[in-house]
Each structure stands twice: as C-alpha cells, then as structure tokens.
Amino acid sequence: MTARAEASAAVDLVREFDDPDILFGSIGENDIVRLLQSGADILLALSDEGRIRDLTYRDPAFDGCGTDGWIGESWGDVVTSETKPKVASMLDDAAAERIGPARQVNHPVAGGEDVPVRYRLVKLPDSERLFAVGENMSDLARAQSRLVQAQMELEADYRKLRDKEARYRTVFQMAGRAVLVVDGASQTIMDANRSAGTLLGKDPRKLIGESVPNLLDRTSRKEGVQIMTEAHYQGSAKNFQSRIAVDGQECVISVEPFRENGQNNLLIKFDQDSTVIAANDSHETDGLHILRNLPEGVVLLDVQGNVLAVNEQFLDLVQVLNKDRLIGRHLNNWVGASSVDTQVLLSKLKKESRANGFATVVRGEAGGFNDVVVSAASVGGGGQAQFILIISADSRRNTPITAKPYGADAKPDGISELVGRVPMKELIRDSVDVIEKMCIEAALNQTGNNRASAADLLGLSRQSLYIKLKRYGLEDFGDT
C-alpha cells in the first residue's frame, strides 16, 4: 500500500482528491501552515512523547490559558486533571499507528471558565511529525447550558400546569351540581363531571362526544337548541326548563358562554328538583365521600388518633392493599418519624382545632418514607369531635432545580426542620459533610481548580483530596 493510501485509510476518508499532486505540488511551506491554521482554532505540533514543540491559534480565547508557557511542556500538563486520560489515550493511538476519534479536553483558565477544545491527532506518513488540530467548543458548551436551563424551566412550568389541572379536575368532579362543558358550534359534550353522569344515566367518559339536545326530552329539544345557539353567538347567559330524556326529571338548565381557543364554548349546568338536591347533599356527607377523589391522601381520626376512614390516595402513600388493615389502628404506625410527631399534631388539634403546614414523613409498609405536609382540622361527626387530615407531598422538596455554576455557595439550610425527624447523629454527620464540601469548593476556586495547590491549602494529601472529590461528586469541578 502506498503512503498516500495509508494516510487515507488512517483518517477514514470517504472520498479523497483525484490528483493531489496537481493541487498541492506547488504549495510552499508557508502556504501549508496557513492552510492548517485556517482549518483549526488551535494547532499543536507535538513530539512522539506528547511534548509541545510549537503551537499556533487564531482564537483569542486561548490567551487566558497561559499558552506562552506551553512550549516544551507535556500536552497532558496543560489540560485539566480529569481530561488527562483522554490525552494519554490519543497519544497511545498515535504511537500504535491508529488515529482514533476526536476527543474533547479542557484547558484551565486562571480565574475563569475552562476552555473546552475538541482535538484530532494527525500524523504524517513516513514522518515523526504529529499535530493536534483543535476546535474551540465554548459556544457549543454555552448553548448546551442554556438548553439545559430552558429544559428545567419548561419542566417547572409543566409541573405547575399539571398541578393546576389536578385542582381543576378535583373541583370539577366534586361539584354536586351536574355540569357539562360543551362545544358552542356543534353543541357536543367536551367534558362532564360525575354529577352529570349520575343525572343523565351514563358514565361521564361516555358522555363525551354526545349531542346535548339528544339528552333532553323531545318536547324541549327545539327550545334547547335555540337557547344554546343564542348563547353561543350573542355571548350572554340563558336559562330554560326541560325534562331529561333518560327519566323525564324536570331541571332548570343554565347556559353560560365562555371564550376558549378562539371560539365561544358553553358551560351548561343542571339544577334538579330541591328534594333531589337535599337527598344528594345528605348522601355526600357520609364519611369521606366528598373527599375521596382528592389527589392528596385523606385520613379521618378520632380524638385519640385512631384511624376511622381513609381514601385511596392514602393507601398508595403507605403501600397498604386495603383499608381494613388501617381502620382502628393508631396514625403513628404510618405518619411521623417517631410517635412524637403525631402527639404534637393531635395536641395542636385539640387546643387550636386546626393545623396548617405540619411537616412530617409518611412511612410505607414495605419500607422507605416520603416527606409530606399535613393540613388538619377538627370536625364534628356522630356527636363527637373528629380530626380530618389532608396529606400532600412537601412542596419544598419539589422546588425546580436551577443550574448553578461550580463554586456556588451551598448553605446547610433546613436543619432545624429535620429535628425530631432525623437522629441528631445523622444531622451532625450531614452538616459536617456539607461544610467539608464547601471548603473544598472554596479551595478549588481560590487556586483556579489546581488540585495540588488546593490540597496544600486544605492541609490534605493529593490522594485524600481526590478521594473526597469523588465522594462529593466534584471530580469534574470546573468543567464547562
């Protein structure tokens, strides 16, 4: 194989020049240098051992990297410690006559962000000359950082949207009044609550897509269509009386238009006969019936703290298969890091009849726990006081994560909130870890991410510092 063919195979060319002798035969050395410079942000001329014999660059970002002192230094000594293995791997590939893929390494900048560079080694055939052709990746790294930040903001907004939707669904489905959301143009049902399903004799999900006039008695369909059409085009609320087709029950129907997605849609509410309303109201007050579809866990207790009733969401929190395993047992079997939590909560309810934002934990039957916030109130039931608890995830544990640069201050906040929930020995150990991590980050910032200087500053050996960097996830500290 010719030298030209070997060079082509080494860099995996898909297509090569047809006649490079004509193209480059008359090009002088200065022209070759200019051609190489124009194709790279930085170009290093290396020895076989990986020492920098000379360099050239056209990107002013490298001025802060101390390039004046690079000549004669090992290439691995002018990159950050975590990217040294990449340099060694590329030099090993070059020594074995195999040019591997391009790799990104970082050059440290005193008092600033590291400069990420994507290098590819080029070794000329039948020659000892070795070149590292580099491309500055700073713009790409900043774009990636902005993309990550935008993604986190989108996720935070999506979480807020889901929370709002959950609240809407809860209120909508718990309403004792039958309500339909109707497309104003076609007069078909877009959404329906449980009360509407009960009134109209169908599952609420099966009502979606039904025509509203078809649900009314034949004698009032024409009037219903006219009223809904007027409300849709005039934008004013209308009322009319009609019988329901399924059982002939008399209802007062309210039609209210609202704006959605560029058109007027309709909110249709059914008011039943007063005796029927009273019967439904008395049914809803039974136990936790009106709260069973809340997205939070709900527990009804007696004054001693024994469980009287729970909803399905609380069963999910404590990982229990059925309610029978909870009824009659004390709440402290599942709520609180210790029995002190429930004693404090019950004492507060007995004295003040309510408690808001009580932070504690819920323990599962299969192990593990979840941080929660409890809102509770005293209610009357069966002639004696009872306590109702609404248990939701601790929102403080779900705050959106924001991207922070390395070296940002980390404060051991929230320790006082853990007293009584976590043993003091664990609190002290975690606090020491936080402070130790802060000291290491401060030392790395003060020394420009120089690990050897940081170890001296902290009074540690290099090996001890590297162990602690790995322990606290700081191996890539200072990387872009």
Q: Would you state the pLDDT for residue 291? A: 65
Query: Sign of the C-alpha dihedral, residues 354, 358, 360, 362?
Result: positive
Q: pLDDT band for 189, please (50, 70, 90 cuts).
A: very high
Which 3 state secondary structure label does DSSP give 310?
A: strand
- Region 219-227 average pLDDT: 88
Give the range with max mean pLDDT: 32-41, 245-254, 383-392.
Answer: 245-254
Q: What is the DSSP letter of 399?
A: P
Alpha-carbon span 360 to 336, nearest angstrom: 5
Tell me: pLDDT of 423 over 70.
Answer: no
b/e 215-227 (16+ beta carbons within 10 angstroms → b) = bbbeebbeebeeb
Q: Would you state the pLDDT for residue 419? A: 56
Beta strands in 19-79 (DSSP E): 42-46, 52-57
Alpha-carbon span 76 to 125, nearest angstrom: 24
Give the range with max mean pLDDT: 71-75, 162-166, 355-359.
Answer: 71-75
Q: pLDDT band for 7, please (50, 70, 90 cuts).
A: very low
Query: pLDDT tens digit string along 247-292?
Result: 888 888 889 888 887 788 899 998 875 444 444 444 444 445 556 6
Lowest-confidence region among 103-107, 226-230, 277-281? 277-281
CB 212 within 8 A of CB 223: no
Q: pLDDT band for 188, please (50, 70, 90 cuts).
A: very high
- Region 80-88 average pLDDT: 90
Average pLDDT of the chain to the nearest whole number: 79
Q: What is the DSSP letter of 401?
A: P
Q: Would you state the pLDDT for residue 127? A: 65
Alpha-carbon span 157 to 243, nearest angstrom: 44
Query: pLDDT tens digit string along 191-211?
Result: 999 888 888 888 888 899 999
Structural domains of the chain in order of their starting residue, each with its CATH number: 3-136 (3.30.450.20), 177-282 (3.30.450.20), 287-397 (3.30.450.20), 415-471 (1.10.10)
Q: Would you state the pLDDT for residue 124? A: 72
Which 3 state secondary structure label does DSSP give 112?
A: coil
Tell me: pLDDT of 396 over 80.
Answer: no
Q: What is the DSSP letter of 102?
A: -
Cα-Cα-Cα-Cα torsion 448, 451, 453, 459, nearest 10 degrees, comes to 130
Q: Nearest-CA neighbor of 301 among 270, 255, 259, 335?
A: 335
b/e 236-272 (16+ beta carbons within 10 angstroms → b) = eebebebebbeeebebebbbebeeeeeebbbbbbbbb
Alpha-carbon span 448 to 438, nearest angstrom: 15
Query: Could you give the percent of the chain with pLDDT greater than 70?
Result: 78
- Region 91-116 average pLDDT: 85
Query: Could you give the percent of the chain with pLDDT greater than 90?
Result: 5
Tell me: pLDDT of 379 over 50.
Answer: yes
Q: Would you state the pLDDT for residue 22? A: 66
Tell me: pLDDT of 182 over 70.
Answer: yes
What the block records as the tokens of 2 is 């010719």
Where helices occur in 301-423 by DSSP H, the ranges are: 312-318, 339-352, 415-418
Q: pLDDT band for 12, please (50, 70, 90 cuts).
A: low
Give the range with max mean pLDDT: 126-130, 176-180, 394-398.
Answer: 176-180
- 460-469: Cβ within 8 A, 24+ apart: 465/440, 468/436, 468/440, 469/440
Report the chain's C-alpha Rg in angstroms. 36
| Alpha-carbon distance values, 357 to 316, 345, 369, 437 (Å) | 21, 11, 18, 31
Query: pLDDT tens digit string along 295-308?
Result: 788 898 988 889 88
| Alpha-carbon distance values, 163 to 268, 299, 316 (Å) | 25, 21, 19
CB 56 within 8 A of CB 70: no
Lowest-confidence region among 33-42, 340-349, 351-360? 33-42
- Strand 130-136 relative to strand 42-46, pairing: antiparallel
- 187 φ, ψ (degrees, to nearest 5): 60, 35
Element (H, E) at 426: helix 424-446
Q: Would you state the pLDDT for residue 455? A: 85
- Region 27-44 average pLDDT: 71
Q: Would you state the pLDDT for residue 404? A: 42
Lowest-confidence region among 263-277, 355-369, 400-414, 439-453? 400-414
- Region 56-83 average pLDDT: 87
- Region 46-58 average pLDDT: 87
For every residue of 242-296, DSSP letters joined together read EEBTTT--EEEEEEEEEEETTEEEEEEEEE--HHHHHHHHHHHTSTTGGGTT-SS
Tell me: pLDDT of 102 over 50.
Answer: yes
For every residue of 113-139, DSSP letters joined together read --EEEEEEEEE-TTS--EEEEEEE-HH
Q: Would you state the pLDDT for residue 181? A: 92
Q: Who wins on pLDDT, 124 or 409?
A: 124
Alpha-carbon span 176 to 193, nearest angstrom: 9
Q: Nearest-CA neighbor of 303 among 341, 360, 336, 345?
A: 345
Query: Sign of the C-alpha dihedral, residues 351, 357, 361, 362?
Result: positive
Q: pLDDT band for 68, please (50, 70, 90 cuts).
A: confident
Q: Would you state the pLDDT for residue 290? A: 57
Q: Who wins on pLDDT, 375 or 12?
A: 375
Tell me: pLDDT of 409 over 50.
Answer: no
